[in-house]
């Protein structure tokens, strides 16, 4: 399982529209994401900055599976209208690099 963090940037003024579009993800796209190995996809927004956390079986395989998927192509076209830089969906990226992570210490008793 991969946990991938992503950062994308909206065009100025597209924040409310982006939120509205994401209020209801098309059923076909949801099914395609799950079929491509996505277990969970969360997005946080701070102004025009979007931070994604994706739990997926294989990130690059997911990108490959969705690149030309009939449910994803129109979705990506819609997102391209809202993003400052459109995603080329090449699937060659690995997301953001992990800098630091807090993990529970094994030597402490459970509360």
Task: State the total domains in the chain.
Answer: 1
Q: In this predicted structure, what is the pLDDT of residue 93? A: 83
Query: Domain for residue 110, yes or no?
Result: no
Domain interval for residue 43: 2-82
Q: In this predicted structure, what is the pLDDT of residue 85? A: 87
Query: Domain for residue 107, yes or no?
Result: no
**Do 21 and 78 meet the contact criterion of CB atoms below 8 Å apart?**
yes
Please measure the distance between the N-terminal and C-terminal CA atoms of the chain and give it in whole angstroms: 28
CATH of the domain at 32: 3.30.70.100
Q: In this predicted structure, what is the pLDDT of residue 91? A: 64
> Mean pLDDT, consecutive 10-residue segments, the chain of 111 residues?
95 98 97 98 97 96 95 95 80 87 76 60
Query: Domain for residue 14, yes or no?
Result: yes
Query: Domain for residue 56, yes or no?
Result: yes
Query: Domain for residue 26, yes or no?
Result: yes
Residue 91 makes CB contacts below 8 A (sequence gap 6+) with: 60, 63, 64, 67
HSE on the CB side for 109, CA within 13 Å? Answer: 1
Q: In this predicted structure, what is the pLDDT of residue 88? A: 64
Query: Domain for residue 52, yes or no?
Result: yes
Q: In this predicted structure, what is the pLDDT of residue 39? A: 98
Query: Domain for residue 11, yes or no?
Result: yes
Query: Domain for residue 103, yes or no?
Result: no
**Do 75 and 21 meet the contact criterion of CB atoms below 8 Å apart?**
no
* Total-model pTM: 0.87
């Amino acid at each position: 399982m991969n946990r991938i963090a992503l950062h994308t940037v909206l065009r100025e003024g597209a924040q409310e529209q982006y939120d509205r579009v994401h209020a209801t993800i098309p059923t076909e796209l949801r099914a395609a994401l799950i079929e491509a190995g996505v277990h969970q996809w969360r997005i946080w927004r701070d102004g025009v900055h979007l931070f994604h956390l994706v739990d997926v079986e294989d990130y690059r395989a997911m990108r490959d599976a969705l690149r030309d998927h009939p449910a994803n192509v129109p979705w990506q076209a819609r997102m391209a209208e809202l993003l400052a830089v459109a995603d080329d969906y090449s699937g060659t990226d690995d997301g953001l690099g992990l800098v630091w992570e807090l993990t529970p210490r094994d030597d402490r008793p459970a509360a």
